Amino acid sequence: MSQSSPLLVFDLDGTLAETAGDLVATLNVILAREGLPPVALDDARKMVGAGARALVQRGFAAVGRTIDGPPLEKLFQDFLAYYEAHIADESYLYEGVVAALDRFEDAGWRFAVCTNKVESPSVRLLEALGVSSRFKAICGQDTFRVADKPIFKPDPRALLLTVDRAGGLPADTIMVGDSRTDIDTAKAAKIPVVAVDFGYTDVHVSELGPDRVIGHFDQLWDAVVELRGRT
Query: What is the separation, in whole angstroms, between the first and last Cα of the chain?
Result: 22
Options 11, 13, 182, 211, the catalytic residue? 11
How far is residue 98's CA from residue 17's CA, in Å, rounded to a whole number? 11
Of 70, 73, 67, 27, residue with least CA distance to 46: 27
Query: Is the separation of the CB atoms in 163 and 169 below 8 Å?
Result: yes
How far is residue 140's CA from residue 196's CA, in Å, rounded to a whole number? 20
Angle at alpha carbon of residue 177, lines to 183 and 174, rounded to 5°: 80
Name residue 219's amino acid: Q
How far is residue 23's CA from residue 12's CA, in Å, rounded to a whole number? 13
Query: Is the separation of the CB atoms in 3 and 167 below 8 Å?
Result: yes
Annotation marks residue 11 as catalytic: yes
- Detail the DSSP E strand segments found in the chain: 7-10, 17-18, 92-93, 110-114, 137-139, 144-146, 149-151, 173-177, 193-196, 212-214
DSSP assignment of 140-184 equals -TTTEEETTEEE-TTSHHHHHHHHHHTT--GGGEEEEESSHHHHH
Give the residue numbers marked as catalytic. 11
